[in-house]
A and B are shown apart, each in its own frame.
Chain A
Amino acid sequence: MPKKKEQGNHLAIEGEFTIYTVGELKEQILGALLANDEFEMDLSAVEEFDAAGLQLLIMTKKGASALNRKFRLTGCSAAVLSLLDLSGLASFFGDSLTYAKSKEAIA
């Protein structure tokens, strides 16, 4: 089971973000998306990331725009970035990523 710290609208996923954990994570993400106007995920401690994880991340991004929520990624580990790169989807998440960066810069 993945370890995670949950703080209302902030979800940090650690360890595995794969087919073994997406079932549980989906419920949490969906819950958080419905409950908050803004939602952020921290993937900087994700060690394993597969297509199922990627797919869930896409769903989150799509769901957020469908529900008119602000969504951002506050950090991505190398595993996440490499798959984003391979899939050619880095630009799809591009705005969430840059937003995360500029936010950091202000803080």
Chain B
Amino acid sequence: MIIPDDYLQTFVVECKELLEQMEESLLVIEKDPTNPDIINAIFRAAHTIKGSAGLFGLEFIVEFTHTAESVLDRARSGEIVINSNLTALFIAVHDHLATLVEHVVEGSTPSTETTDFGKRLTAQLEVYLGKEIKEVSFPPVQKLNVSEQSSTGDQVGADHWHLSLRFGTDVFRNGMDPFSFVRHLSKLGTIVQLVTIIDAIPSAEEMDPESCYLGFEISFRSEASKTDIDNVFNFVRSDCEIHILPPNSKISEYQKLIQELPEQEMRLGELLVNCGTLTPDELKRVLQVQSEISTDEPQRPIGEVLVEQQMVSPPVVEAALKKQEQVREHKKAEANLIRVDADKLDELINLVGELIIAGAGTSLIAQKAGMADLMESTATLSRLVEEVRDSALALRMVQIGATFNRFQRVVRDVSKELGKEINLVISGAETELDKTVVEKIGDPLTHLVRNSMDHGIEPAEVRIARGKPVKGTLKLNAYHDAGSIVIEVTDDGGGLNKAKILSKAIERGLVDENANLSDKEIYNLIFEAGFSTADAISNLSGRGVGMDVVRSNIQALRGRIELDSVEGQGSTIRIRLPLTLAIIDGFMVGVGDTTFVVPLDMVVECIELRAWASDEGDGQYLNLRGEVLPYRRLRDYFDTKGEVVRRENVVVVRYGEHKAGLVVDKLMGEFQTVIKPLGQLFKGEKGIGGFTILGNGEVALIVDVPGLMTQIEHEKDSRE
């Protein structure tokens, strides 16, 4: 069958988008296995892929997706619970689908290997469907079968321990605090949810404040053995009713638990749902079996009461579900998007740039002509042009969140590969930056993240020995600062070993043996070419290629990279990038006959050289209100000709943590600047970042503040 190319293209783009959504949902569902929205999202993705593939006659996709869809459909109706096994399986399904879609792109048919892999996955999926056949053949009308099935094979989906504690009245008098056990417990693992049972506290008059009436229901995630968990309660054993249920216990065990505990069963059921131990559906099954057992007894009313309680359960279930939803508001806002070709956007930005230049020309003419009406009109016009510029640029701005979220998967996979437990914490996901920058930051960021996981975060044994939580934490953060976006990759690992880096650097001849380097300078040596301090070279990183490539990638985006580290506590890598590559707000200054533009975001203040700041004599530093400020005369720096003025001004600029003063002749005010790149000839020039065309047709150079500052630092070093 011949498919028109653009339709196929649309299909592929759509599939990739759906697969991305599917992956995102799969990663979230591990944390929230019952959320119907997430299950629906996964189902919809599979369903749509199957449907569109069918339209194009791509039988191999349809066939494979069909089984997955059926399993998901069962999950959607609550017949099966999505546990971690099933999630892992679906991630494999997702990956396989991605491979199949790639084949569509290439126009090839899958190899036998791929097909076999698909068949194996299908077989695994069918296990989840096989159960359906069994259950249909034993319809729930046959009470005995149902209860027997639940007591033999029916497991609960939640993969955490469940602890029920009811403390005896003398616990306080024996000098113990129930919460101390909770704190102790949290050292063995993670407390997912803790509910304090206060039902047993008597009325105010009757209560003895020195008796304990408390109890806990705890859902607890841990690798520890049952004995280890049990041992936590050694001191309180005689005084406390303790029930410990391992992960994925059978429904029948929960029934037993509910019967043994003192509270009413509906209340208990609610608590178990609150703890996340049972899903509402599982609770229903527990209670259903309970009520069926009761009907065996001669007294009908009890059965009826229980059935009535069944009637009560839907709102309980609903309430519990609602709460879960509120807690995790992971719902994606319904996307209302138009797909636009990136080239068209670039063209628009380019035109807006020309418009700005033309507008500046017009207002200059208006000023010369001295026509008040025309000047007013051009003022309005330039305000509008400015707004058009901003919204045109905003079109290109995307949130960094999507890029960050991709790392959920990277961290998941790599931590499995390395056998380390690592948690990814994302913040500042809503920070926006230019799309081209986002596209180019992905690879360096992946490298940094992998590097932090491989070398930064220590193996579990080392972490325990150092008294750190077993689970390592990796943080991705983004924020805006002084016209740049800052992206941070932070780990709580071992940090960098200063001595080791220094000796290696000396060995490789990167620094002089007697060089006196600050901590920061030492850390930043790792970005030099051919540098690796890792003792072992692993599959992932440590080959010494990398950090220097990362740095040159970042520098190509007019950005900077730096590293902070505390030995034994972890490191932070900070990437600083310009928000956009095309248009900036500039501050125009004049030196002699030449005009320069300083990016406005970096300008802190302007002062008159003689009135406010005094030269400390060596012509290198100013005393700015008691602060030492390195400064340069742009006239000297760029060797500019022209008349010398009497009153010079200092423009104080800031980039990152550095401040510097630039001495200029004239301050000429704000100006919208379209950055035009300089030709190849000027590639080596560090102090100039580009040029722009002024309204009168003249060319102004744009000062590259970061470049200039490095230059100043270098001069300082070479003098010392």
Contacts and interface: CB of A to CB of B under 8 A. Distances in A.
Interface of A: 19, 22-23, 25-26, 29-30, 33, 50-52, 54-56, 58-60, 62-63, 66-67, 83, 86-89, 92
Interface string B475-506: 00000000000000000000000000000000
Nearest to A67: B204
A58 B205 contact: no
B209 A26 contact: yes
Contact of A23 (B196, B210, B212): B210
How many residues of B sit at the interface, in one of the four size bands?
20 to 34
Interface in B164-215: 172, 177-179, 182-183, 193-196, 198, 201, 203-205, 207, 209-210, 212-214
Given A55-B213, A58-B198, A86-B194, A19 B205 contact: no
A63 B205 CA distance: 9
15 contacts: A29-B204, A51-B179, A51-B214, A54-B196, A55-B212, A55-B213, A55-B214, A59-B201, A62-B198, A62-B204, A83-B179, A86-B194, A87-B196, A89-B196, A92-B198
Given A51-B178, A89-B198, A60 B204 contact: yes
B207 A26 contact: yes
Task: Name B's interface SS.
Answer: loop
Nearest to B175: A19
Nearest to A83: B179
A21 to B, nearest CB: 9
Given A51-B172, A66-B203, A67-B204, 20 more contacts: A19-B210, A23-B209, A25-B209, A29-B204, A30-B204, A30-B205, A50-B179, A52-B177, A52-B209, A54-B196, A54-B214, A55-B201, A55-B209, A58-B198, A58-B201, A62-B198, A62-B201, A86-B194, A87-B196, A88-B193
Interface of B: 172, 177-179, 182-183, 193-196, 198, 201, 203-205, 207, 209-210, 212-214
B348 to A, nearest CB: 49
B196 A88 contact: yes
B506 to A, nearest CB: 49
Contact of A63 (B178, B193, B198, B204): B204
Contacts of A83: 179
Contacts of B172: 19, 51-52
Given A19-B172, A22-B209, A55-B214, A88 B195 contact: yes
A33 B194 CA distance: 30
A70 to B, nearest CB: 15
A74 to B, nearest CB: 20
Nearest to A62: B201
A16 to B, nearest CB: 13
A63 B212 contact: no
Contacts of A59: 201, 204, 207, 209
Contacts of B204: 29-30, 33, 59-60, 62-63, 66-67
Nearest to A25: B209
A32 to B, nearest CB: 11
B209 A87 contact: no
Interface-centre pick from A33, A50, A59, A67 (highest chain B CB count, 10 A): A59
Contacts of A67: 204
In the complex, the 7 A-B pairs of residues with the closest C-beta atoms, listed nearest first: A63-B204, A22-B209, A26-B209, A87-B196, A51-B178, A19-B172, A50-B177
A67 B550 CA distance: 68
A52 B178 CA distance: 9
A92 B194 CA distance: 14
Nearest to A50: B177
Contacts of A33: 204
A31 B209 CA distance: 14
A45 B210 CA distance: 22
A88 B212 contact: no
A58 B177 CA distance: 16
Nearest to A61: B198
Nearest to A84: B196
A51 B201 CA distance: 12
Contacts of B179: 50-51, 83, 86-87
Q: Which of A19, A26, A58 has the most CB of B within 10 A?
A: A19
A54 B213 CA distance: 11
A52 to B, nearest CB: 5
Given A50-B179, A51-B179, A66-B204, A87 B194 contact: yes
Contacts of A29: 204
Contacts of A26: 207, 209
